[in-house]
Structure 1
Amino acid sequence: MGEAKYPQDQNSASSLRQAIEVISSLISLSHSIKVFTVKWQLIRNKLEELNSGLIAVENCDSSESSGLSSLVQAILFTVNECNVLARRCVDLCYGGKLLMQSDLDVLSSKFDQHIKNLSGIYTAGVLTQGFAIVVSRPGVNACKDDMRFYLRDLLTRMKIGDTQMKKQALFNLHEVVIEDEKYVKIVVLEVNEIVNILVKFLDSLVIEIQESAAKVVCVISGFDFCKSVLIGAGVIGPLIRVLESGNGFGKEAAARSLQKLTENSDNAWSVSAYGGVTALLKICSGDEFRGEIFGPACGVLRNLVGVEEIKRFMIEEDAISTFIKLVRSKDEVVQINSIEFLQNIASGDESIRQMVIKEGGIRALVRVLDPKSSFSSKSRETALRAIEKLCFTSSNAINILMKCGFTDELLYFLRKGEVSVQELALKAAFKLCGTSEEAKKAMGDAGFMPEFVRFLDAKSYEIREMAAEALYRMVSIPKNRKRFIQDDRNIGFILQLLDKEAANSGNKEFLLSILMSLTSCNSARRKIANSGYLKIIEKLAEAEVSDAKRLVRKLSTNRFRIMLSGIWHS
């Protein structure tokens, strides 16, 4: 059974309800005002905030109401003053513009004071939450004014509510910004005091408030138009403090926010200035921090390596060795992010690339490709990309790759890999056979040529072209050329493909180059001349395809001249 209210309490409740209704009416009236629009917008914002505060008061119990009663009476007096000015502005019957502007400024200051006094009553603990507050969220097709009012209501609760009220307001705020970008725009561009409150809450000693604020900031930081506002509000330092001392969910949200904010390298120095690099390296190297936080934390570091001084600091902190160890992790997220970090930090810097190689980076990457291991296809794709970026410009790296059994792993995935891995393996094999004579010889001995031949007929033009060029590089080595010619099917297959490609641009240039290279062997010249495809080569020559002309000339020399004298005269 509810506690009986004394007449004085009833009068207070009546005045409070009256104030709420009068303010709501005044807000509606203010939308009709067509003069001094900027000043009235400012007043309307304050009225909405004040109204939210008074509505919150209705949901609370009061142990002593004299201060509140006095404040409500003062608010009613100011609101009635405002009502008079509003009607004069609607009717355009005010005395002078300067006088009206002055009166509106005075009113605006009074409302500021009322909001401050109401906040003070909450802070003093006079009001306590009597039951769970349910804030009515506008419907899906709500107008912007309703959305703005709802956000101002949440702002008021975050400013003057008790701990539970703040938690609920933050929960509701997170709910709307994650579902509807329009709320994000209003928060950042109109009710931007919410941003300042969120930044303040990141340093809250109440861990739930800190975590909830970090989650909202994480959503907002994903929008480009919000980033400069967050940076201007000083969000970097508090986010790093959450990384250092928050709970798991708060740390993850803070790391994701920083990852988004540091996509602009201008913000990198702020992270460094607040000790963020050390905090992030600690997260990445500590076992207790593994899981959802590792990916975004590593992502921030990848964003920061673009700043030379920060990159050097990471190296001094032994980041290279740390992340090479993490490449061996069985956790896919940890493994992939570690590989990408090493790739980023070594990009365009030969000294760091050599450091990665010296610390055992190549061996760690090749180990990821071991078919007997349980690593995922995604990890293997990432390792192949990193090897391509890190290794193919250095003879030392190539030698280490070959000694680590890289060609065996590459050949396996060319033959049996999933499509995505297979294509990357082909790309790596293509680059590898362009590095040195030794690499081509080793690849020929290992059995790469039949795989390149197989890809010559792939659906993708890019794949066909890579395979053809790789095969052309391979047969430039006499030993490989001899091995290739020994299989009668090879030359016939290339001639068939040339026939198929003759009508379009395709990759006939590389096919012709392969045939041209093979003609240095008598047996190959004989097989081509007897194949029945000479008319195709002749047509291409007549079409001024230079490689075809060269090929016909080559076939026409010495003992083939008589045989072909009727086919071509140059």
Structure 2
Amino acid sequence: MTTTLPAPPASPASAAAADDSGGLPPAAEETLDLILHTLIPCLLLSSLSVASFHGRWRTIRDKLGHLRSSLSDATCCPGWSRHPLLLDLLPAILATLRSLRSLSDRCHDPSLPGGKLLLQSDLDIATSSLSLRLHDLDLLLRSGLLQHCPPPSEAAADAAGDGVNSNAIVLSQPGESASKEDLALFVRDLFARLQIGGVEFKRKALDSLVHLLSADAEEVVAKNAAIIAREGDIAYLVHLLEPSSCVRPAIREQVVAAVSALATASEASRKAIFEEGVLGPLLRLLETGSTPLREKAASAVDAITADPANAWAIPAYGGVQVLIEACRPSGCHVVRAHSAGALRNVAAAVADVRVAMVDEGAVPVLLELLSSSASGSTTDDEDARKNAVECLCILASAGSEDDRDGEKTRACVIQEGGLQKLLQVFREIVASGSSSELTEHLLRAIHGLSASPAARRVLSASVGFLLHLAELIKHGNPRTQQISATLLCELSPGEEIKRSIAGCMGALLKLMESSKPANSQEVAARALVSLLAVRSNRKELSRDEKSLTRLVGLLDPANDRVRKELPLSVVMALAGGGGGCRKRVAEMGACQHLQKLAEADVPGAKKTLQRITGGRIKSIFSSISWRE
């Protein structure tokens, strides 16, 4: 037989509400009166005399006391009865307390109706529900949102317009000039709705969140993102990406959009979502999600891993293979582009993972991606190719020539036909003149592979490739000129090939005048010395008055833009072309500069002067003649 303790006396309105089986009383005040003056006191009293599960009821009693205190605090806020989130929360609290009331009756019955295990399970479920309602109520109180309720007139208008007042957004979207305080309050409102409200609350909150992160001005987006990272519950946002959150697909798609926007908006927001473990859920979505989810997830992973401090987490989550699979050409263009970008980021930041990437099959997938995008014309196709080439470049350049791991990655790229594929795409790009940036990345990848002796032999014998290098030295941008000159001075082409590319010597001299990019002057000088090893090239350069004028100008001690050892090495190589070459260099005024450099003990100046003048005695007589 069930023993039920009598409930404390209640007001007539409360009693009527308690007898009503429809759930929510007609007014918020009546609902709160029923909870505070009937249900909670009754449960507190009955929990003291239950026949079973005393420990669980002790925990419930503590939570009930906490609930009563929090609800009392809520009523101290002006306009609490009109706040849509609290109005949405009160029926849930009421339902939880009524469930506990029923369980209290069962625990007072010594026969334990339904059995002990079932009653224990029901108690745990009800306790969990009570904890959730307490969490939501405390969140609402901490946010300060109860202080910002709509006036009665606006609440009535919202109720008439939406049919349900709780669907109304209380705070309006802040403008771009809004203060940080107003924006912080709005963000707390969004996250409160995201956690406490139903589907419509979540949808509207996420729409507003994405809107904050899609302003036209980048500085506004960065400011908004930083405040979201500081004021919002990022952990809960990340939780909504998990399958266990059981949110609707449309809501999860909005969450991924918001996370992707936070990943690209600012360093603070990117750090915030990373520290909450967002990469794990994003990688799972990239692996198994729908196309829209995979696009946003790939974009977010690409942005997060752009920070080297974050890239290490990809192998920790087992994400390398996920990214490799996402790069396959059968997938979506956007997914491929961002996945290749994330692989590039990981390869650049985590040296230890490069060999693992090769072992897991990244090279053939990247090469296939490079081939499949060769005919593409969209921005995503170009991004996919660029990212794939950059990743191959990092793998090809890993370690030194004698480094075992570095040689292993280069050997794998070459074995998979990577060198031929890179050369093929390089020829296509140079012929079309479509992308100087992609040309630069291709050259860097080829240069990385040239550390392998086998690749170097192939490149040194490739007339077409070396002719393209000469054209890029003459007409390319400073970066492609520098890389082309580097390749030219490091390869060992035969004399016939050197004669065929002699036309770039003037451009190499011009490159020696520029201090940027770094190392340009050094590689230009070395490339020139290599080409001047051919006698006909020395004669050709000595007949080029404009180039000789530029070379002599580089010897001038007053010209401090270049280290004098570099033009000295070129003059020394040119002087080996016979008396005619030396005479023309001297006629352009080189000896005056050489004499000053020799007197200043510049290394190589005295020897170069002797070579140009034909010997030490002749140098002395020439010096006297110049002074006279």
Same fold (TM over 0.5): yes
> In the aligned structure 1, how far is the partner of 2:279 from the partner of 2:454?
42
Distance 1:366 1:130, change over 3 A: same
> In the aligned structure 1, how far is the partner of 2:421 from the partner of 2:538?
34
- Deviation per residue, 1:363-385 (Å, 9 max, x gap): 22222332334742222122122
> In the aligned structure 2, how far is the partner of 1:367 from the partner of 1:53?
72
Alignment: residue pair count: 486
> In the aligned structure 2, how far is the partner of 1:442 from the partner of 1:66?
85
Please show how residues 153-172 of structure 1 align to structure 2 within 5 Å: 153-172=189-208
Partner residue, 1:382: 441
The alignment partner of 1:506 has SS state of: coil
Please show how residues 63-78 of structure 1 align to structure 2 within 5 Å: 67=94
> In the aligned structure 1, how far is the partner of 2:179 from the partner of 2:198?
30
Aligned: 1:356 with 2:413 = yes
> In the aligned structure 1, how far is the partner of 2:289 from the partner of 2:181?
36
> In the aligned structure 2, how far is the partner of 1:54 from the partner of 1:153?
15
Aligned: 1:489 with 2:545 = yes
Aligned: 1:340 with 2:390 = yes
The alignment partner of 1:297 has SS state of: helix
Partner residue, 1:397: 455
> In the aligned structure 2, how far is the partner of 1:441 from the partner of 1:214?
59
> In the aligned structure 1, how far is the partner of 2:480 from the partner of 2:307?
33
- Deviation per residue, 1:510-540 (Å, 9 max, x gap): 2233222333322223333444554343344
Amino acid across the alignment from 1:383: L
Task: Answer yes or no: is the 8 Å Cα contact 1:458–1:464 preserved in 2.
Answer: yes
Aligned match of 2:300 in 257, 265, 275? Answer: 257
Percent identity, please: 27
Q: Give 1:323 shift.
A: 0.9
> In the aligned structure 2, how far is the partner of 1:491 from the partner of 1:152?
68
> In the aligned structure 1, how far is the partner of 2:481 from the partner of 2:139?
72
Amino acid across the alignment from 1:153: D
Partner residue, 1:115: 137
Task: Answer yes or no: is the 8 Å Cα contact 2:282–2:297 preserved in 1.
Answer: yes
Partner residue, 2:256: 214
Aligned match of 2:568 in 512, 527, 533? Answer: 512
Amino acid across the alignment from 2:294: K
Please show how residues 16-27 of structure 1 align to structure 2 within 5 Å: none
Q: Give 1:497 shift.
A: 2.3
Please show how residues 89-100 of structure 1 align to structure 2 within 5 Å: none
> In the aligned structure 2, how far is the partner of 1:490 from the partner of 1:117?
77
> In the aligned structure 2, how far is the partner of 1:217 from the partner of 1:543?
64
Task: Answer yes or no: is the 8 Å Cα contact 1:452–1:468 preserved in 2.
Answer: no
* Greater displacement, 313-322 / 487-496: 487-496
Task: Answer yes or no: is the 8 Å Cα contact 2:260–2:300 preserved in 1.
Answer: yes
Partner residue, 1:56: 84
> In the aligned structure 2, how far is the partner of 1:537 from the partner of 1:168?
77
The alignment partner of 1:566 has SS state of: helix
Aligned: 1:241 with 2:279 = no
> In the aligned structure 2, how far is the partner of 1:15 from the partner of 1:340?
65
Aligned: 1:551 with 2:579 = no
Partner residue, 1:83: none
> In the aligned structure 1, how far is the partner of 2:483 from the partner of 2:456?
12
Partner residue, 2:346: 304
> In the aligned structure 2, how far is the partner of 1:282 from the partner of 1:490?
55
Q: Give 1:342 shift.
A: 1.0
> In the aligned structure 2, how far is the partner of 1:566 from the partner of 1:130?
105
Partner residue, 2:486: 431
Partner residue, 1:566: 624
Please show how residues 144-155 of structure 1 align to structure 2 within 5 Å: 144-155=180-191
Partner residue, 1:22: none
> In the aligned structure 2, how far is the partner of 1:294 from the partner of 1:509?
48
Partner residue, 2:211: 175
> In the aligned structure 2, how far is the partner of 1:561 from the partner of 1:13?
110
Aligned match of 2:236 in 196, 201, 207? Answer: 196
Q: Give 1:252 shift.
A: 2.5
- Deviation per residue, 1:152-171 (Å, 9 max, x gap): 32223222333232111111
Task: Answer yes or no: is the 8 Å Cα contact 2:28–2:81 preserved in 1.
Answer: no
The alignment partner of 2:168 has SS state of: coil
Distance 1:446 1:553, change over 3 A: closer
Partner residue, 2:465: 406
The alignment partner of 2:331 has SS state of: helix
- Deviation per residue, 1:340-378 (Å, 9 max, x gap): 111223322111112112222122222233233474222
- Deviation per residue, 1:413-468 (Å, 9 max, x gap): 23344xx3xx2342233223432543676333332443435625856566556534
Distance 1:383 1:149, change over 3 A: same
Aligned: 1:15 with 2:29 = yes
Q: Give 1:17 shift.
A: 12
Q: Give 1:234 shift.
A: 3.6
> In the aligned structure 2, how far is the partner of 1:188 from the partner of 1:60?
26
TM superposition score normalised by structure 2: 0.65
Amino acid across the alignment from 2:164: G
Partner residue, 1:4: none
Aligned match of 1:445 in 490, 500, 503? Answer: 500
Aligned match of 2:336 in 275, 294, 308? Answer: 294
* Greater displacement, 348-357 / 149-158: 149-158
Task: Answer yes or no: is the 8 Å Cα contact 1:59–1:133 preserved in 2.
Answer: no
> In the aligned structure 1, how far is the partner of 2:601 from the partner of 2:303?
55
Amino acid across the alignment from 1:15: E
- Deviation per residue, 1:75-134 (Å, 9 max, x gap): xxxxxxxxxxxxxxxxxxxxxxxxxxxxxxxxxx9993772899xxxxxxxx99738634
> In the aligned structure 1, how far is the partner of 2:449 from the partner of 2:548?
38
Q: Give 1:400 shift.
A: 1.8
Distance 1:206 1:536, change over 3 A: same
Aligned: 1:415 with 2:474 = yes
Q: Give 1:320 shift.
A: 0.7
> In the aligned structure 1, how far is the partner of 2:460 from the partner of 2:80?
71
Amino acid across the alignment from 1:200: L
> In the aligned structure 2, how far is the partner of 1:461 from the partner of 1:278?
39
* Greater displacement, 508-517 / 300-309: 300-309
> In the aligned structure 2, how far is the partner of 1:309 from the partner of 1:547?
44
> In the aligned structure 1, how far is the partner of 2:320 from the partner of 2:516?
44
> In the aligned structure 2, how far is the partner of 1:144 from the partner of 1:18?
34
Amino acid across the alignment from 2:487: L
Unaligned regions of 5+ residues in structure 2, if any? 1-15, 34-68, 99-130, 141-158, 215-219, 375-380, 400-405
Please show how residues 515-534 of structure 1 align to structure 2 within 5 Å: 515-520=571-576, 521-531=578-588, 533-534=590-591
The alignment partner of 2:325 has SS state of: helix
User: What CA RMSD, in Å, does the superposition of the two structures yield over aligned residues?
Assistant: 4.6
Q: Give 1:336 shift.
A: 0.6
Q: Give 1:172 shift.
A: 0.7
Q: Give 1:396 shift.
A: 1.8
TM superposition score normalised by structure 1: 0.70
The alignment partner of 1:381 has SS state of: helix
The alignment partner of 1:353 has SS state of: helix
The alignment partner of 2:624 has SS state of: coil
Amino acid across the alignment from 1:216: A
